Amino acid sequence: MSGPLTDAVRSDLRLWLAQRASAAVLAACVVVHLALIIYAVRGGLSAAAILGRTHGSLVWLGFYLVFIAAVAVHAPIGLRQIVREMTGWRGRSLDAVAAVFAALLVVLGVRAVWGLFA
């Protein structure tokens, strides 16, 4: 490809990079999250004990907020691409739906994490 990139190509490139970067963050978060689940189950921790350990912890709050941010970037970009490929839907309306989905993921995720923290 020679010549300057179009705005659409630049936009797709940025989305591709954002999805790959968020995938890397998600991979690390999933490993930590699953390790914690295994530790809790093997250690015989009750739900109350787990909540007691996470309640008020800024470290866990920060960790899960990063997890939420990665999900909110990664999932809408992927779904947007799937919808584009399967339906041919393109344009700002599809981008708006993906953005609303991302916002919904953030709101629901923060709500769930805040319930553990507060």
> CATH number of the domain that 40 lies in?
1.20.1300
Better pLDDT: 55 or 79? 79
Neighbouring C-alpha atoms within 13 Å toward the C-beta of 33: 13
DSSP three-state, residue 88: coil
Q: Write the pLDDT tens digit of every residue in 26-52.
A: 999 999 999 999 999 898 988 888 888
3-state secondary structure 61-82: HHHHHHHHHHHHHHHHHHHHHH
Computed over every residue of the chain, the mean pLDDT equals 93
Residue with tokens 């309640």: 55
Span 2-14, average pLDDT: 85
Position 78 in a domain: yes
Q: Which domain holds residue 28?
A: 8-117
Position 1 in a domain: no
Domain count, the chain: 1
Position 79 in a domain: yes
d(CA 1, CA 3): 7
Position 43 in a domain: yes
Share of the chain above pLDDT 70, in %: 97
